[in-house]
Structure 1
Amino acid sequence: MSVFNKINDILLNSNKPSIELEKLFKEDEFIKSDFRIIGDLKNVPQDKKFHPEGNVWNHTKMVVDLAARIKEYSENSKNFMWSSIFHDIGKVKTTRFIKGRYRSYNHDIEGEKITYKILKNYMNEEEAVNISEIVRFHMHHIYILKDLPFADIEKLIKSSNYNDIILLFICDKLGRGSKGIEEKIDTINEVEFILEKIERYEANINIEISKRLQKINDIVIK
């Protein structure tokens, strides 16, 4: 089985993908593959204030494991799970220590490019484009929440990946350090607030995702 197929199988069928992925990363076949860049995330530090869990791979493992728990609510579980493991891949090239902090400016933009460049060789064009787009939008929960100029809400709401982008917001936010119940509740409330802001652009766009959010809430608030 190829490295791609091994990762794909883990992402789609494991209840906690991080365990099997750690084992795979030690195999020579993985180390020589295009996917070795995922392993490079272990060498990318993050600001402890926002990421007490440590390096980018530690964060990614938490995101992937949570994504596995809620993937049944995604529109396309394969695309959703691949976007969860690639969402911060751009940090490999963009992370710098600036003014006393590790920063990764434009890692979402760079991540889209890297994701597409790799996955187009293993998936059909539509899948590679869709996964890359989810990666590109994964920072929008911050951009929208803080009214930053980087947000492109009009393009977001037109995306066929809208539902899965919102789900990745949740995973990305919760995949940090050790979150208590109150923090998890705050995260869900934060996503609901973001959805309200999006509805200023298009009313009723969140009817279905809001229903799913209630069920996801029962999964993550444990």
Structure 2
Amino acid sequence: MQLKQKELNYDLTDDETKEILLYEINNHLLMDDKPSEFFDSIASTAIFREHPFNMIYNMKYAEQSPVYHPEGNVWNHTMMVIDYAAREKHKSRNEKVFMWAALLHDIGKPDTTKKRKGKITSYDHEKVGAVMAGEFLKEFTTDHKFIHQVEHLIRWHMQILHVVKNNGFADIKSMKEETDIEEVALLGFCDRLGRKGSDIGKEKQNIHVFLQKCREYKEK
């Protein structure tokens, strides 16, 4: 394809250049062992601060709780997640959906992050993020099935925590109606491993418990 052969001028912010950049992002997500290296290389460019890429760029300014995210801001976390997802994507039923969901899974945090009583929170970032991810992808594609699959993975990626803890936010029924629990588990696993100090053994056990509870769930 010609788009692949045309060199991108990062100083341009026109629509054609944006389309080329999206093509490059897709290529790096699907083909690189460490997609974060490409994102770090474009993070300070003018085009990456333009709509809609600024939805991703703004992650740099969204802080996270140092207790749960010692790696720092949402950008740092997301870069670790996509690198781990690149290692695990062969397990996905749809690598393109999976990798885009990994990139955009916390896109809602910049708009939902607040300090409450000295704690950093981002309540409902998965719900806000699902909507934002849809808005981002609709800038470039009319593949509604692809968009909805990415949206739904992002919408439900926090369910692993809720289901394992059996808290009031768990909603296995709705999740199973909208998305594939195996894909949610894979994304959630990468989300948990994409941070400093993660315990792979503990996270594998959490995924096991999550899937077991989802499979055993019967509508009441």
- TM surpasses 0.5: yes
- Structure 2: how far apart are the matches of 1:151 and 1:120? 29
TM-score by length of 2: 0.86
Indicate the SS of the match to 1:199: helix
- Structure 2: how far apart are the matches of 1:98 and 1:41? 19
**CA distance change for structure 1 residues 140 and 111 in 2, over 3 Å: closer, same or farther?**
same
TM-score by length of 1: 0.85
Aligned to 2:213: 197
Structure 1 residue runs of 5 or longer lacking an equivalent are 203-222
**Identity level (%):** 34
Structure 2 residue runs of 5 or longer lacking an equivalent are 4-19
Q: Tell me if 1:142 matches 2:161.
A: yes
- Structure 2: how far apart are the matches of 1:200 and 1:41? 37
Q: Tell me if 1:27 matches 2:53.
A: no
Q: Is the Cα–Cα contact under 8 Å of residues 181 and 211 in structure 2 kept in the other structure?
A: no
Indicate the SS of the match to 2:111: helix
- Structure 1: how far apart are the matches of 2:119 and 2:66? 9
**Alignment length (residue pairs):** 199
- Structure 2: how far apart are the matches of 1:195 and 1:126? 24
Pairwise CA distance, 1:199? 2.0
- Structure 1: how far apart are the matches of 2:180 and 2:95? 11
Q: Is the Cα–Cα contact under 8 Å of residues 83 and 134 in structure 1 kept in the other structure?
A: yes
Aligned to 1:58: 76
Q: Is the Cα–Cα contact under 8 Å of residues 87 and 108 in structure 1 kept in the other structure?
A: yes
Aligned to 1:184: 200
Question: Which amino acid is 1:23 matched to?
Answer: S
- Structure 2: how far apart are the matches of 1:50 and 1:160? 26
Indicate the SS of the match to 1:53: coil
CA RMSD across the alignment = 1.3
- Structure 2: how far apart are the matches of 1:42 and 1:163? 30
Aligned to 2:133: 115
- Structure 1: how far apart are the matches of 2:38 and 2:55? 17
Aligned to 1:161: 180
- The 5-angstrom pairing of residues 1-80 of structure 1 reads 1=3, 2-80=20-98
